[in-house]
Amino acid sequence: MRRVSIFDRRLTAELREKLKKPVGRLIEGLPEDNIEKMKSIVEEVKPVAVAVVGDVVSSMAIAAGIPVKIYVADGRVMRSLAGLSITGNVDIVFRAKNPPGLITRECIEVLREAVEYDGSVWVWIDGEEDLTVIPLVILMPIGSLVIYGQPHLGFVAVYVDEEKKREMLQIMDSMEPI
């Protein structure tokens, strides 16, 4: 599997529409109802590592007691402040700038560091974390699980395998380099 090219990329209008659909298994329901569902999926899959993207999903994983390797959040839920606390849940905190609609070189490099770090990591995004699912799937080891929120629907569980990595690489390649 080739590595992702390291330069800033912008989401195109075509990709924006495509990415409104889940890229993994959609679990519908309200966050409070989905905490046990998330825990069950992790127990069923037995992933080698778990990464969660989004403030609500991060809160759900903490509430479910799921051992998470990487949390990625921006402190906002639907553009409003979330008030999420990370105290005691991780070994280290990394920060990256990633404006809405972009995947920055800085963000990819920080996510790579988080994947390589031997411990649990909180990646705090200054901007928006939504698109970080794409490089995370590419960077996480085969057998991992990346979980992210699907607004107004629930959450999505993405099992990382070679096929999913290829799919995410194709999405990255179709983004506009800037």
Say what the pLDDT of residue 84 is. 58
In total, how many domains does the chain have?
Answer: 1
Q: What SS3 class is residue 98? A: strand
Say what the pLDDT of residue 158 is. 98
In a domain, 4, yes or no: no
Residue 2 confidence class, pLDDT cut points 50, 70, 90: very low
pLDDT in tens, 29-63: 999 999 999 999 999 999 999 999 999 999 999 99
In a domain, 110, yes or no: yes
In a domain, 28, yes or no: yes
- Averaged pLDDT for residues 93-115: 95
Range of the domain at 75: 9-177
CA distances from 50 to 46, 53, 147 (A): 9, 10, 8
In a domain, 2, yes or no: no
Residue 3 contacts by C-beta under 8 Å, 6 or more apart in sequence? Answer: none
